[in-house]
A = this chain, B = another copy of it.
Amino acid sequence: MVSAHNSGGDIASAARKPRYELLTLGDELLLGLTANGHLTFIGAQLGRRGALLQRNVTITDEAEAIAAQFRESWARADVVITTGGLGPTCDDRTREVVAEVLGQKLIFDPVLARAIAERFARFGRKMTANNLKQAYVFERGEVLENANGTAPGLWAEQDGKVLIMLPGPPNEMQPMFTEKVLPRLAARHLVLDREAYVQIRTAGVGESALETKLQPIFDRAGPGLSVAFCAHEGRVDCRVSSPTAALSHAKLESVAGECAHLLGDDFVCYGHDSLARVCAELLRVQEKKLAVAETATGGLLANAFSESCGACKFFAGGVVCCSNDIKTQLLDVPECLLLQHGAVSDEAAVAMATGAAETLGADYALAVTGFAGAAATGNGGNVVGTIFVALFSPMGVWSKKLSYPGPRRTVKTRAVNAALDWLRRELLRAQRGGALPTQRIGVMQ
């Protein structure tokens, strides 16, 4: 049985935090054929519950390498998580290798075998004999049911440590981790049973400006408060926590509330919602519809909304235009305007947003035009990374010029975030009753 490392049952106040190591198995990761999303997902999930992943090792599928690495990690860590290598084929031998290191027997689980066979039958696929390999489980351990695939997860406790073996496909591993693994870890006080920090998400203000602004609040909260900032392409998250548990969660929430209040519209949300989701919620509440028109972002602005469920209710649609013809034809952008000011200009962005709102019958519209990548040839003195964003709203239409360094992908993401943030501010203003703020940032620069 695993012992909690503290008497209070709260790892945040533990004298020594449990050590987590993650072994991601698979040549496809080392060959760069698949991104190591397991590290990103599991690291974030543990972090949210107050546990820091100490180490992630990715090694080849060779049995010897797996055995040596597992032995080392098992000796050092309190919790070892493995992903991959639980499939039916002969190169999936993680289960056997780990069982041998632990001195565990693998036993055949007939209930599991039946479930695997039933899953094959349900999807009309033929089950081959090697699939039954997946029905072998640790003699002293638990099975973590796989709702989305055939390979079950395995859980074992031994030597005062926990072993968690998870399948490789993300759509199997991720729900298994949040639904089966986290509650078990929380019950053993190896992670918190709630979020370890209160996060406020901000936009439109830089990391150091944010810190300077919020510092008086942190100073007043006194010692025991820990603050971390994290910038993501136009958005900055600020996490307040109390690793020594000197401050209660209610106190942390009150500190975050003070920050949110002080930040005004620079505050996006508590927690982890995306800018698109926050905009979607505001549109839904206000029963307004949005349309988009984009060139430089190529479809990514529209796609930000299509990730939301039930997007039809608030998202009318979008037009991705490459040529001036399309802007003229679909969005009623006057050809003479494009010739006079260029397709990458304040004027073009304003005309695109207006056209999108009118053609698509929307209350709000965002337009993005610009040069996101290296091959675009400059126009009117604009260089790569120059972006014009326009916002059409019931109150009027404005544009602003932005400039981002970096590769095409970064420029596109930042342009999408800037557009979404502007919309969010305008929706907030409308919600308050339409009073124009005393300072309007970036309009018609």
Contact = CB atoms under 8 A, between A and B. Distances in A.
Interface of A: 27-37, 39-45, 47, 52-60, 65, 123, 170-171, 230, 232, 292, 297-303, 305-307, 309-312, 315-323, 325-326, 329-330, 359-361, 373-376, 405-408, 410
Given A47-B31, A317-B323, A303 B303 contact: yes
A30 B57 contact: no
A320 B323 contact: no
A298 B302 contact: yes
**Which are the 6 A-B pairs with shortest beta-carbon distances?**
A298-B306, A32-B44, A309-B375, A299-B299, A32-B43, A299-B302
B60 A57 contact: no
B52 A59 contact: no
Given A303-B299, A317-B320, A326 B360 contact: yes
Given A32-B45, A43-B30, A319 B318 contact: yes
Contacts of A323: 312, 316-317
B325 A361 contact: yes
A31 B232 CA distance: 14
A307 B375 contact: no
Contacts of A52: 27, 30-31, 60
Contacts of A299: 298-303, 306, 318, 320
Contacts of A312: 322-323
A30 B53 contact: yes
Nearest to A43: B32
A317 B321 contact: yes
A374 B308 CA distance: 10
A320 B408 CA distance: 22
Contacts of A405: 123
Of A32, A44, A310, A315, chain B has the most CB atoms within 10 Å of the CB of A32
A41 to B, nearest CB: 6
Contact of A410 (B123, B171, B307, B319): B171
27 contacts: A28-B230, A29-B56, A31-B47, A32-B39, A32-B42, A32-B45, A33-B44, A36-B56, A54-B60, A56-B57, A171-B406, A171-B410, A298-B299, A298-B307, A299-B300, A299-B301, A299-B302, A299-B318, A300-B303, A309-B376, A312-B322, A312-B323, A316-B326, A319-B320, A325-B361, A326-B360, A329-B361
Nearest to A318: B320
Contacts of A30: 39, 43, 47, 52-56
Nearest to A36: B36
A110 B235 CA distance: 36
A375 B308 CA distance: 9
A238 to B, nearest CB: 13
B322 A320 contact: no
A322 B330 contact: no
Nearest to A360: B326
Of A37, A123, A307, chain B has the most CB atoms within 10 Å of the CB of A307
B309 A305 contact: no
A197 to B, nearest CB: 11
Contacts of A330: 317, 319, 330, 359-360
A330 B298 CA distance: 18
Given A309-B374, A317-B330, A41 B31 contact: no
A272 B373 CA distance: 20
A73 to B, nearest CB: 11
A320 B303 CA distance: 9
